[in-house]
């Protein structure tokens, strides 16, 4: 292959899945230069432009267990699920200390995980940002601001390149105090957001497009959507927003999710009809420009399902946990059909569990490092 012109070599290599690129860069300096070039990235993405999916999983918060796994796509070429990559990475990285480390946050647009030494509320514990598939890992310098709790990873990308990430922690004594580590500066900063929030509701925070979102309770004990933008333009500080949730009626289960680059909100409500009968209705909204837009509704009666998440690449596929059958189901919005996912039948009760979507990007992002690291 040394006799091939470099442009032909780039075309050949671009037909391989992303998972292989880390190994290709180890072959020789020429291959490393090709794979890391903007030309190669654009070439790969142009050849893969018809692909609308990538590997992803719906994870249990804090224990690296998968509820749903989709991974056999050409983009990454994975032969096993993301959960297995995470588990094997943690075992290899920390060896005999494996049980002392956990994943506390997942990114939905950069393929990164935030690993923390346990217990969770410990001053100056070890933190790592890693890609479990490429096995690239960066240790975050310690902070000195007292006890804290991981909130998430905010990322900034441009033209398919990961430019920067921020590790965000809640101050343990004050939930409105934020500790923020920036890969751009290699420093920790302290900031405060005045949101009057009191905790999470039924879901872990979601990191998307430089912001972190979650459902919380305000001072009136009402549930609200909290969003913090860590890359707000024209300001040196983070920008927080509290948005009322777009629903009414007797509340049942609700959940946040992401789909096609947007924040999604699902809720089951009970509606009393004029004749006195009661219908259960699932409503799905998309957050766009600070406003909730109703995407779909579905009415059903007598079924006890907990909405867990939406397929990140297909807004017409929603996943539920059946409380009565203790089974996982997928629902197709188009034909209004439920499908039983038999491989997880008789699994333990997932009602009220915390979930996180973990989605690999359409490109292999190199984790930024500062000179301080």
* Pair (62, 180) in one structural domain: yes
What are the backbone angles phi and psi of residue 98, rounded to the nearest 5°? -50, -45
Question: Rounded CA gap, 25 and 37, in Å?
Answer: 11
Summarised one tens digit per residue, pLDDT across range 68-122 is: 888 888 789 898 999 999 999 999 999 888 888 889 899 888 999 999 887 655 5
- Token pair of 27 as six digits: 């072959």
Summarised one tens digit per residue, pLDDT across range 57-71 is: 988 876 677 888 888
Q: How many domains does the chain have?
A: 3
Stretch 207-232: mean pLDDT, rounded?
Answer: 83
List C-alpha distances in Å: 201 to 158, 217, 223, 254.
32, 7, 8, 9
* Pair (133, 189) in one structural domain: yes
CATH code for position 22? 1.20.1280
Question: Which of 183-197, 208-222, 242-256, 351-365 is the least confident region?
Answer: 242-256
* Pair (340, 210) in one structural domain: no
Taking the model in full, what pTM does it have? Answer: 0.87
Q: Where does the pLDDT of residue 199 fall: very low under 50, low under 70, confident under 90, or very high at 90 and above?
A: low
* Pair (67, 173) in one structural domain: yes
Question: Rounded CA gap, 142 and 153, in Å?
Answer: 16
Look at residue 372 in the predicted model and tell me its pLDDT. Answer: 46
For residue 37, the enclosing domain spans 1-50
**What end-to-end distance do the CA atoms of the chain give, in Å?**
37
Beta strands 177-182 and 327-332, pairing class: unpaired
* Pair (27, 103) in one structural domain: no
* Pair (141, 105) in one structural domain: yes
Question: Rounded CA gap, 293 and 332, in Å?
Answer: 20
- Token pair of 83 as six digits: 């959960």
């Amino acid at each position: 292959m040394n006799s091939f012109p470099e442009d032909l070599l780039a075309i050949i290599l671009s037909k391989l899945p992303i998972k292989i690129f880390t190994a290709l860069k180890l072959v020789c300096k020429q291959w490393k230069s090709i794979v890391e070039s903007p030309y190669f990235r654009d070439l790969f993405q142009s050849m893969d432009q018809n692909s609308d999916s990538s590997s992803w999983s719906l994870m249990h918060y804090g224990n690296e267990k998968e509820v749903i796994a989709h991974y056999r796509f050409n983009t990454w070429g994975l032969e096993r699920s993301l959960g297995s990559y995470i588990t094997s990475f943690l075992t290899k990285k920390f060896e005999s200390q494996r049980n002392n480390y956990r994943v506390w946050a997942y990114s939905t647009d950069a393929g990164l995980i935030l690993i923390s030494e346990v217990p969770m509320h410990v001053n100056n514990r070890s933190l790592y940002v890693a890609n479990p598939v490429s096995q690239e890992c960066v240790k975050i310098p310690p902070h000195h601001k007292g006890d804290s709790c991981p909130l998430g990873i905010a990322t900034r990308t441009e033209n398919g390149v990961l430019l920067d990430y921020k590790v965000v922690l809640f101050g343990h004594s004050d939930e409105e105090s934020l500790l923020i580590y920036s890969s751009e500066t290699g420093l920790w900063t302290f900031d405060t957001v005045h949101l009057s929030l009191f905790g999470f509701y039924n879901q872990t925070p979601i990191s998307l497009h430089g912001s972190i979102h979650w459902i919380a309770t305000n001072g009136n004990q009402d549930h609200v959507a909290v969003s913090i933008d860590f890359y707000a333009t024209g300001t040196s500080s983070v920008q927080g927003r509290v948005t009322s949730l777009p629903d009414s009626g007797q509340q049942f289960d609700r959940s946040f999710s992401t789909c096609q680059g947007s924040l999604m909100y699902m809720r089951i409500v009970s509606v009393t009809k004029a004749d006195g009968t009661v219908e259960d209705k699932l409503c799905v909204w998309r957050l766009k420009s600070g406003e909730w837009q109703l995407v779909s509704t579905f009415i059903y009666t007598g079924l006890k399902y907990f909405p867990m998440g939406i397929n990140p690449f297909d807004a017409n596929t929603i996943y539920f946990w059946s409380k009565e059958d203790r089974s996982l189901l997928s629902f197709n919005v188009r034909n209004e059909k439920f499908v039983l996912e038999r491989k997880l039948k008789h699994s333990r009760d997932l009602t009220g569990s915390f979930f996180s979507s973990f989605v690999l990007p359409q490109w292999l992002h190199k984790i930024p490092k500062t000179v301080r690291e």
